[in-house]
A = this chain, B = another copy of it.
């Protein structure tokens, strides 16, 4: 049973394919098609269960109505939910999403970009990995519309959607200070990515603002590639000595979850022995015996904004960049002690 094409309908109706095309794309008014003929064609189309061939359409129009999405890690619920939001939002505009996960790997990122561009996506939404500046610049040269999310490169003028990481981090740390914590440690990723630097900056801002000296011994960085080991080490170091940390600020949910898994094994009680706060939500953090206070990034808003900005760029064909910075909210729960 071959696919039904315009030609089949045309033959059945005894007319040209052009006529059928006009009718089925609702240009019958503009193209002055006779009413009864239009009706007849629509009927035959329904009878034969005609489904337009999207590929042929794309070839003709030069647009695929597909956007490519590259997330840093699809198994992270933050990105999974971003992906879902973007998919939903794109569908509202009759766009589809092809996605891939770069797993924070710059080569995989390049591969994905190549594949998606070959597939003629009309634009890209990307969480750029560390060291992918060149890839981004190349997209600009090729005039391929794209929007960065979650992270961006301050030295590259490109559209992006991000949250005010610095202020949000500072807010989280201030919360710890107000809850009476004195020795506040931070666990971040070892990366040059701007959003992480900003979160670290915010941590330091808050300490300074409250007259606490930020010492390097309380700032720990874990490699994405050696998460488990590095986190164990970091937490060991934070909690050892005469003056152990009495609070930890995790820069992302994956860090927090790994960290808490380890903390659990140490018999340390949250929030009595240690307060914990993190960026990003996650079911694991809800279910934790002391539900974890966290900085909520408005995923829905981010996803919607990303699609909106990208589609504007695609439709207008403009090169103007739009940078959007969204506020977060601090969701206070038990992990920092009651106030």
Could you list which residues of chain A lie within 8 angstroms of chain B, going by C-beta atoms?
Answer: 1, 51-56, 58-59, 64, 66, 74-75, 77, 80-81, 83-84, 87, 91, 96-101, 114-115, 117-120, 141-143, 257, 260-261, 264, 282-289
Contacts and interface: CB of A to CB of B under 8 A. Distances in A.
Given A54-B119, A284-B283, A97 B98 contact: yes
Contacts of A286: 261, 284
Complex copy number for this chain: 2
A97 B96 CA distance: 11
Given A83-B74, A84-B101, A87-B101, A143 B1 contact: yes
A77 B101 CA distance: 15
6 contacts: A53-B59, A74-B83, A96-B119, A97-B98, A260-B287, A288-B289
Contacts of A83: 74
Contact of A77 (B64, B75, B120, B142): B75
A58 B74 CA distance: 28
A116 to B, nearest CB: 8
A84 B142 CA distance: 29
Contacts of A64: 55
Given A75-B84, A284-B284, 8 more contacts: A1-B141, A1-B142, A51-B118, A55-B119, A84-B101, A87-B100, A87-B101, A99-B99
Contact of A283 (B74, B84, B142, B257): B257
A2 to B, nearest CB: 9
10 closest A-B pairs by beta carbon, nearest first, are A284-B284, A283-B284, A284-B287, A80-B80, A289-B289, A74-B84, A55-B58, A54-B119, A54-B118, A55-B120
Contacts of A91: 100, 115
Contacts of A66: 98, 119
Nearest to A111: B91
A266 B150 CA distance: 37
A118 B98 CA distance: 15
A115 B96 CA distance: 8
